[in-house]
């Protein structure tokens, strides 16, 4: 089996935010996130109840960018049932229940949104241990009312 899709000249979102290929403005980041959200919504709702798809591997490297920086969700390898999800993006409820739902994809996309906002990786072991997980770090900042510290300083 093979999966073919159109050529994506602007690579993946991860390449721009974590590998410094180009700087993305706030407007570009927002457009990419809205496009990825629409794609995810289409997967989850489809054209009928029989065609719903849980992606199971939503992450920065699976959001590809075309020549206009429009987002395309890619890599449906895990949608076939293999459950080796990327660490840092995994829905905590999955660990408790062992069941993946559309909410699992939404959780992973939330981590992507925090990556876009902060330009931090989902997991970064170069930081202090209590800061390794972007999701936990962002939740702590939210609870402490320090959301302004989450924003990528390059955007300010």
Q: Tell me the pLDDT tens digit for each residue of 15-43.
A: 999 999 999 999 999 999 999 999 999 99
Dist CA 63 CA 37 (whole Å):
10
Looking at the DSSP bridge assignments, the partners of residue 64 are: 12, 72
Residue 11 CA to residue 122 CA, distance in Å, equals 19
**DSSP letter, residue 24:** P
131-22-67 Cα angle (round to 5):
120
Q: What is the pLDDT of residue 49?
A: 63
The pLDDT value given to residue 111 = 97
Question: Which of residues 132 and 53 earns the better pLDDT score?
Answer: 132
d(CA 134, CA 142): 12
Domain residue limits, the chain: 13-151
Residue 84 pLDDT exceeds 70: no
Which residues are identified as catalytic? 57
In this predicted structure, the answer to whether residue 72 has a pLDDT above a threshold of 60 is yes
Q: Region 133-141: what's the mean pLDDT?
A: 96
> If one looks up domain 13-151 in CATH, what number appears?
1.10.510.10
| For residue 121, pLDDT beyond 70 | yes
Asked whether residue 79 carries a pLDDT value surpassing 80, the answer given is: no
- On the question of pLDDT at 83 being above 90, the answer is no
- Token pair, residue 83, equals 């459950």
The answer on pLDDT for 93 being more than 90 is yes
């Amino acid at each position: 089996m093979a999966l073919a899709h159109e050529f994506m000249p602007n690579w993946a979102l991860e390449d721009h935010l974590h590998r410094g290929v180009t700087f993305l403005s706030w407007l570009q980041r927002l457009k990419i996130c809205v496009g990825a959200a629409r794609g995810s919504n289409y997967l989850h709702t489809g054209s009928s109840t029989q065609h719903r798809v849980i992606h199971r591997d939503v992450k920065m490297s699976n959001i590809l960018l075309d020549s206009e920086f429009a987002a395309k969700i890619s890599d449906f390898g895990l949608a076939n049932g293999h459950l080796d999800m990327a660490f840092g993006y995994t829905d905590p409820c999955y660990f408790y229940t062992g069941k993946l739902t559309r909410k699992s994809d939404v959780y992973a996309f939330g981590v992507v949104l925090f990556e876009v906002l902060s330009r931090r990786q989902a997991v970064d072991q170069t930081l202090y241990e209590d800061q390794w997980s972007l999701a936990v770090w962002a939740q702590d900042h939210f609870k402490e009312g320090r959301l302004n510290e989450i924003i990528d300083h390059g955007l300010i």
